[in-house]
Amino acid sequence: MSNTTIEFTRNYSDQSTNKGFQFEFFCDRCGNGHRTHFQANTLGTVSTLMDTANSVFGGLFGRAADLSERARSAAWERAHDAAFSEAVKEIRPLFAQCPNCSSWVCRKSCWNDQRGLCKNCAPDLGVTMSAAQSRKAVETAMENAAMSDEDKHIVSSGWQETLTATCPHCGAPQAAHTKFCSECGGKLQSEAHCTECGAKLPPGVKFCGECGHKVGG
């Protein structure tokens, strides 16, 4: 086997058994995984046959199995390393290592081809701007919702009382809750009622706020 070092020694999960080898590699950025094809282990099959024979013949082959176990373990490790190297070759085209932060990321979602860096180091500007616009839209919607709640509070607390009145005699603007006009001295808060429905009418209105009847009509 080649003395070349093996990549991906951290971000993977070993799914291997005595029957074969299989590995799952993960992206350092998004965490998505890619699983390699299963590679059968002939050594594991031979070991299974030895274990079966040992149980059938009541330990007759026990000593031979013990002597072969150490050799089998070493052989399994060599087979495991070879299978891992093949798995790395299989998975390598799907990943890229960022030269800036050294993370292994998937090319599909987390690699910026134009910049030659992972998207943590070189975010996709289009996606970033779109996300920023969406956040701004959410903030605006929340502000509008808060303003709407405030408006509802004003309405429920009697917003009519905060409006500025006008004198029905001279038309001069007046402060709220004023009884007499500051310009002509005319009475502002007369006890007027709608002739149609009997509702109390604020000074200066032309139509009843309850039934819509024209005042003085």
Q: What is the pLDDT of residue 60?
A: 44
Residue 33's CB: how many other CB atoms inside 10 A? 15
Domain that includes residue 184, residue range: 161-217
Alpha carbon distance 32, 51 (integer Å)? 38
For residue range 115-140, list pLDDT tens digits in order: 999 999 998 887 778 878 888 888 88
For the chain, the average pLDDT equals 75
For residue range 27-78, list pLDDT tens digits in order: 999 999 899 999 998 765 545 544 544 454 444 444 445 545 555 688 888 8
The stretch 176-189 carries a mean pLDDT of 73
Residue 2 has pLDDT above 50, yes or no: no
* Strand ranges, E, within 137-180: 165-166, 173-174
Please indicate, yes or no, if residue 6 is contained in any of the structural domains. no
Q: What is the pLDDT of residue 127?
A: 76
> Are 110 and 177 part of one and the same domain?
no
> Are 25 and 81 part of one and the same domain?
yes
Q: How confident is the model at residue 105 (pLDDT cuts 50, 70, 90)?
A: very high
Could you say which of 74, 98, 125 is where a domain stops?
125
DSSP assignment letter at 110: S
pTM score of the predicted model: 0.47
The alpha carbon of 205 is separated from its chain's Cα centroid by a whole number of angstroms, namely: 54
